[in-house]
Chain A
Amino acid sequence: MNRKSLIAACAVAAGMIASAMPSHAYRMIYNTTVGRVSAGSAVPCSYSGGFAHWNIRSINWYYNTAGQGWGKSTALSSAMTAWTNVASANHVLTLAGTTTAGFVTDNRNTILWAAGNGCTGSCLAITALVLQYGQVIVETDISFNSGWSWQTSGADYDVQAVAAHELGHSLGIHHTELTSTPRPTMYASYFGTTGRTLEVDDQAALQCSESRY
């Protein structure tokens, strides 16, 4: 096969792979095994084993203003509003106030900036889910790494975009497998302020979760 033919054949193959991808490729977080540390697997919404989910609709969040947490309330609220506004889904995320709490299991959903909490070095932000029997989420916390510079002006790293992404995880949504543009907020990599806005794939993930549970 000559070079031109090879390139053409590869382009066709790539096209076939791309067209085989579903228009919705969201994935949900599945707690893999009982009794050991789990990082959470990515499964489709129809997965027989179910996935992490809330069984309440109203989810209150508190944020710690220490360190870089100061001045971030508007960005955090906007990220929550994006998920609250998903049509045909009834979750209401509210920034209910401030807290001095850390990354701890205390029945309070907390967002904070810290150096530590298992998120140092290359880690920008970490999300922990606390699950009860049946993969019911009873608490979730997000710790931003204060070793990085966090911005609300649109510069890197954008608080609202990363918060929207991590809040998606807090709702039981894993990373999407959709790679086309516009990229969903739950795409597995940071891509700037565009991540502030939820795409159809993100919305479909929450809608599917709510229709199942």
Chain B
Amino acid sequence: MCGIMAVAMAASLAASASATTLRRMGLEELVAGNKSIVVGQVLDARSYWNKEKTFILTDVRIAVNDVLKGNVQDEVTVTLMGGRVGDLTTLIVGGAELIPGKSYLLFLNREDLPGVSKAQTVRDLCQGAFDLVIGKDGLRAVSQANRHPLIPDHLGYIDAPGGVEGIPFNAMIDSVRGLAHGEVN
């Protein structure tokens, strides 16, 4: 027990790293605040200047494996702020990181980005992206916000949903589906 506490403390200390200032969002808030929630694998990513050439954006193409909320096709393109064009890189501190070949659970919404109106994006930045990782007890969904400590929410909670260990994938799916359908889990 003590070992678990010590490890947990060490893990929480080591996880402190971030930037952009974000208030913590619980799962309920993430589900309620986003129009679409999907599980998918990143096919590729392409960075480009927006039409006005004022900001670098990146379109991330995602093969959708499961739709937990919303009306989403088999493939969706998510636009993120930042990326690299030529020798110029725009880095969004605290943004979601989507790497080709990897799978994620994503909370998506349409938002205005620089030079683009109502783009499908990960509105809540790192809080809206969960890495799917193999744990000792199977697949788990781990919030990218664990790398980006958060301002406490209205209940005083500060850890991203699931903490550094994440949430068992099936439990996460059930919770999200339940919340999306207005049930209380």
Contact = CB atoms under 8 A, between A and B. Distances in A.
Interface of A: 6, 9-10, 13-14, 17, 21, 27, 29, 31-32, 34-42, 52, 102-106, 116-133, 138, 162, 165-166, 169, 174-177, 179, 188-190
A175 B6 contact: no
17 contacts: A9-B2, A10-B6, A36-B47, A36-B58, A38-B89, A39-B97, A117-B81, A119-B125, A121-B124, A126-B93, A128-B90, A128-B92, A129-B90, A132-B87, A133-B87, A190-B21, A190-B151
Given A37-B92, A37-B98, A118-B81, A127 B111 contact: no
A58 to B, nearest CB: 22
- Closest 4 A-B residue pairs measured CB to CB? A42-B17, A188-B149, A104-B54, A13-B6
B82 A174 contact: no
A14 B58 contact: no
A189 B93 contact: no
Contact of A177 (B14, B81, B111, B147): B14
Interface of B: 1-2, 5-6, 9-10, 13-14, 16-25, 29, 33, 45, 47, 52, 54-56, 58, 60, 80-84, 87-100, 111-115, 121, 123-127, 144, 147-152, 158
B91 A175 contact: no
A133 to B, nearest CB: 5
A166 B55 contact: no
A117 B17 contact: no
A118 B149 contact: no
A123 B125 contact: yes
A189 B150 contact: yes
Given A128-B90, A174-B19, A189-B150, A10 B2 contact: yes
Contact of B84 (A21, A34, A52): A34
A104 B91 contact: no
A174 B18 contact: yes
A126 B16 contact: no
Given A37-B92, A37-B97, A39-B94, A118 B113 contact: yes
Contact of B91 (A13, A27, A103, A131): A131
Nearest to B153: A122
Contacts of A124: 21-23, 151
Q: Is the interface of A mostly helix, strand, loop or mixed?
A: loop
B1 to A, nearest CB: 7
B58 A189 contact: no
B92 A189 contact: no
Contacts of B84: 34-36
Nearest to B127: A122
Contacts of A6: 1-2
A176 B16 contact: yes
Contact of B20 (A121, A126, A130, A177): A126
A211 B17 CA distance: 22
Given A37-B47, A118-B111, A174 B17 contact: yes
A115 to B, nearest CB: 8
B126 A131 contact: no
